[in-house]
Amino acid sequence: MTYKLLFVCLGNICRSPAAENIMNHLSKENGLSGSIVCDSAGTSSYHIGSPPDRRMSAAAAQKLGIQLQGRARQFQKSDLQEFDLILAMDKDNYADILALDTSSKYHHKVKLMCDFCSRHTLKEVPDPYYGGAEGFNQVIELLVDACEGLLNHITAQQV
């Protein structure tokens, strides 16, 4: 049994690829890489095919020693059926995802990433794109907190 997670932001070059790679890293560390499958997508088409933003990659390498893998793709309606849990980085992403759930059949699968944080009180993962390096470091810290919570949530359920 595999549990399929999809992380979603606007561009799929900063927050969601970082979340995907951090979750893969934590899953591996906890011996769960065979049972948790991660992917990421953007609600926009702006960066389709692009690798993760180099500033996000630098922060992940510096803070966690991991290399960000993947290429940007756009979120699509079929993702609602495909994945077990869909994690939106902010409320705009959340609304854009649910706008594709025209039958409201998959509403229960879509959550805000920060709902899984236990050490941070922010409700959204801030968009770091137009800011400085500190914003990217903050994203990494928030995502580690949320991914740890997510791992606990999944293991408590079934995996």
Active site residue 15: yes
Q: Binding residue for ligand 4NP (CB under 6 A) from 13, 80, 97, 147?
A: 13
Length of the chain: 159
Counting contacts by CB under 6 A, is residue 127 touching ligand 4NP?
A: yes
Residue with Cβ nearer ligand 4NP (88 or 150): 88
Smallest separation, CB 20 to ligand 4NP (Å): 11
Smallest separation, CB 128 to ligand 4NP (Å): 7
Smallest separation, CB 57 to ligand 4NP (Å): 12
Do 38 and 23 touch, CB atoms closer than 8 A? Answer: yes
- Alpha-carbon distance of 10 to 14, in angstroms, equals 9
Q: Angle at which helices 133-157 and 15-29 pack, to 10 degrees?
A: 50
Do 97 and 43 touch, CB atoms closer than 8 A? Answer: yes
Residue 7 bridge partners (DSSP): 40, 87
Residue with Cβ nearer ligand 4NP (2 or 95): 95
Residue with Cβ nearer ligand 4NP (135 or 149): 135
- Alpha-carbon distance of 158 to 91, in angstroms, equals 28
Q: Which two tokens stand for residue 14?
A: 């900063």
The set of catalytic residues is 9, 15, 127
Interacting residues toward ligand 4NP by CB under 6 A: 9-15, 42, 46, 127, 129
